[in-house]
Amino acid sequence: MLKKHLLGGAIVAALSLSAHAEFEYRVPMGMDFDVSSALESAPQDLNSISCADSHCYALKGGTIWSVGSNAYGELGREGTTSQYTWGNTGQPADSVVAGNNYGYALHNGTVWSVGSNTYGMAGRSGDLTVWGDTGQPATAIAAGDHHGYALHNGTIWSVGRNTKGQLGRAGTTTQTTWGDTGQPASSIAAGYQHGYALHNGTIWSVGYNHAGQLGLSDLSDRQAWVNTGQPATAITSGSNFGYALFSGTVWSVGFNGSGQLGRGGTANQSSWGDTGQPASSINGGSAHGYALHNGTVWSIGRNVKGQLGRAGTTDQSSWGDTGQLADSIVAAGQYGYITNGSETLSVGHNSNGQLGFGDTADRGNFTAVTISE
């Protein structure tokens, strides 16, 4: 199920974003934040999950829960000690998204932030180990590696790192306060140092383009939003690649070092192309992806930590059915979360306890986890 407005009730991978050894920084994830996956059958009172490279947030009972790495206080549980089991931060929210060592939430119509502020992406000062109000009004949010997007009055606002022009505010100067890009949009997705938006039914893109991830048939960065001309009904960003849904199948673009684009081989692609994979929702992690088709999880790409849930640790360059029933999906870093009715399950990399099992052992199969104290 696909939402046309970011996050409200969607499970999102805030794009954890990295691609290969060369790009071992993750964001999101990503990622969207129109993205792709929404909870149709909410387990207990769980409303959404969002994960970055090594930490996750969940909305449960109207408050934010968190787990995983906490070096910058990104868990919002005070202090900087990593947590291997889910805990309630007590912060009320309507939606939440995870970035690289930080997070955003929507509460009472404004953006709240927590965690790292290395490039000013928190949009505020003060104690960053607890959630705080930035004062920025918004109806949707997306978190990239060190930059953020928000929708307000129908246009994209941005903040944070701008090395590749990913803020869409002209130039490459980092910005520590939210500013209006003037770009109209109905949904947004943030990648490593790039972004996607949907506007009038087509994908727009901005920022870093070394692997062709902007979908403009070249490798030139863009400092302003550009229309790719690619029609879509949903978008999501991995590290340096993207997925879209159009006419019921997955389309892809960008970095392809682990075969995550599903278009044959591992060559990067600078224009959007149809993978032929049917899907009702999609989500991209660092270099792997999940899709929902006929009620089961399909996966592709990097598998060094077993994140594909297809047994073994061999990368896969074609979509394959895991056989795992699900109604929502989240791909992040080198791991993932899904829900199946009343169950929440996780798989893959777990070095910071982000899978929520109380340990740091990786999991090669989707395994049920409890989000409670």
Q: Are 184 and 151 in contact (CB under 8 A)?
A: no
Per-residue pLDDT, 116: 97
Mean pLDDT of the chain, nearest integer: 90
Instruction: Give the residue-averaged pLDDT of 330-337.
Output: 98
CA pair distance 325, 341, nearest whole angstrom: 9
Per-residue pLDDT, 230: 98
Q: What is the CATH number of domain 10-369?
A: 2.130.10.30
Question: Lowest-pLDDT range, 28-37, 197-206, 287-296, 340-349?
Answer: 28-37
Q: Are 113 and 158 in contact (CB under 8 A)?
A: no
Question: Does position 30 have pLDDT exceeding 60, yes or no?
Answer: no
Q: Tell me, what amino acid is at 154?
A: G
CA pair distance 225, 214, nearest whole angstrom: 10
Question: Does position 247 have pLDDT exceeding 50, yes or no?
Answer: yes
pLDDT-based confidence at 29, cuts 50/70/90? very low
CA pair distance 342, 339, nearest whole angstrom: 7
Residue with more model confidence, 246 or 8? 246
Q: Kindly tell me the burial class for residue 170, based on how many C-beta atoms sit within 10 Å of its own C-beta (0-12, 13-18, 19 or more).
A: exposed
3-state DSSP call for residue 21?
A: helix
DSSP code at position 22 = G
Residue with more model confidence, 47 or 224? 224
Instruction: Give the residue-averaged pLDDT of 8-37.
Output: 33
Q: Please list the residues that pair with 170 across neighbouring strands.
A: none
Instruction: Give the residue-averaged pLDDT of 322-348.
Output: 96
Per-residue pLDDT, 45: 67
Question: Does position 215 have pLDDT exceeding 90, yes or no?
Answer: yes
Distance from chain centroid for Cα 288 = 12
Question: Does position 34 have pLDDT exceeding 90, yes or no?
Answer: no
Question: Does position 2 have pLDDT exceeding 90, yes or no?
Answer: no
CA pair distance 299, 213, nearest whole angstrom: 20
Separate counts of helices (H) and strands (E) for the chain: 0, 30
Residue with more model confidence, 311 or 74? 74
Q: Tell me, what amino acid is at 219?
A: L
Residue with more model confidence, 47 or 162? 162
Question: Does position 5 have pLDDT exceeding 70, yes or no?
Answer: no
pLDDT tens digits along 36-84? 333 333 344 688 999 999 999 999 999 999 999 999 999 999 999 999 9
Q: Kindly tell me the burial class for residue 373, based on how many C-beta atoms sit within 10 Å of its own C-beta (0-12, 13-18, 19 or more).
A: exposed
Q: Kindly tell me the burial class for residue 21, based on how many C-beta atoms sit within 10 Å of its own C-beta (0-12, 13-18, 19 or more).
A: exposed
Q: Where do we find the tokens 């960065």? A: 221
Per-residue pLDDT, 47: 86
Q: What are the residue boundaries of the structural domains of the chain, listed by start?
A: 10-369
